Amino acid sequence: METASLKENAGYLYDTLRLRSLPLAVKFLPDDTGFPEKHRRPHRDMGKRITICQAVTMARLYGWTMGLTSQDLICVPAAVAFGFSGVKEPKEALTQLFCDISFHSNPDNAALETESMSVMDGREHKAILIAPLNKASFEPDTITVYANPAQTVRMVQGWVYRYGKRVGANIGGKVECSEYLLAPCQTTSATVVIPGAGDRIFSMTQDDEMVFALPGSQLDGLIEGLKEAGKKIGARYPITFYQNFQPEFPKQHREFGQKLGLFK
């Protein structure tokens, strides 16, 4: 996909859906040598480590291109899930962590959850590049869009129009960054994600925000779907309120209106 096409599609998403923040392009790289010339590294440029969801917020609200490796991250579960921790079995490590912090009462239950999570083992990719979609100079593995529920529904309608099957969700309320960054390129399918506690504590994700994410290769299909889905019935965002009805008022209103001669 050409850069100009990415910019055009980004503008269409942002304007048509009236998004509050920028759609994002995400790339997983073998190392930091693949970062573009203009990017920010938290450890190098800010003198601190941050969470992955903070980098997402900086990209979607500030318009920054963010490069991340293990040096830049302080979030332990995310470091494990994205293969930056050095552990050979990330799902086993997350199982133990979820029990330690009382998100599960026993390892068997925790293992059921972690088995369904999207993770990397760090053997192929050791860096993440996150950029506003309209500025991306690379072909993204994942497209990530923060939106309200109504905007998300419209993207779901567009994706389903083009690809047929319904959009799934794999939500556990924690480490959701792996689901909206990593899962789409692993599953080659779109997903809907409710951001977890970390997103809301550290990266200021608002209560009305959720995430729609899809493989980068399916962006053109999403745009096509947004243009066509429900066109014959005027489906769009903002969703149009139905107004062709006569309201009913309390008895006292009607009686007073009759006294005034407004109604017969």
- Each residue of 135-145: pLDDT tens digit? 999 999 999 99
Separation CA 129–CA 73 (nearest Å): 13
Q: What sections of 50-118 are H helices per DSSP?
A: 52-57, 76-81, 90-100, 107-115
CB atoms near residue 168 (< 10 Å): 12
For residue 61, count CB atoms less than 10 angstroms from its CB and return exposed for 0-12, middle for 13-18, buried for 19 or more. middle
Tell me the pairing of strands 210-215 and 142-147: antiparallel
Separation CA 41–CA 48 (nearest Å): 9
Pick the closest to residue 82 from 90, 74, 93, 72 (CA basis).
90
Local confidence band at 4 (pLDDT 50, 70, 90 cut-offs): low
Mean of pLDDT values over 30-54: 96
Mean of pLDDT values over 223-250: 94
Has residue 3 got a pLDDT over 80?
Answer: no
CB atoms near residue 221 (< 10 Å): 17
Per-residue pLDDT of 194-220, as tens digits, reads 999 999 999 999 999 999 999 999 999
Local confidence band at 263 (pLDDT 50, 70, 90 cut-offs): confident
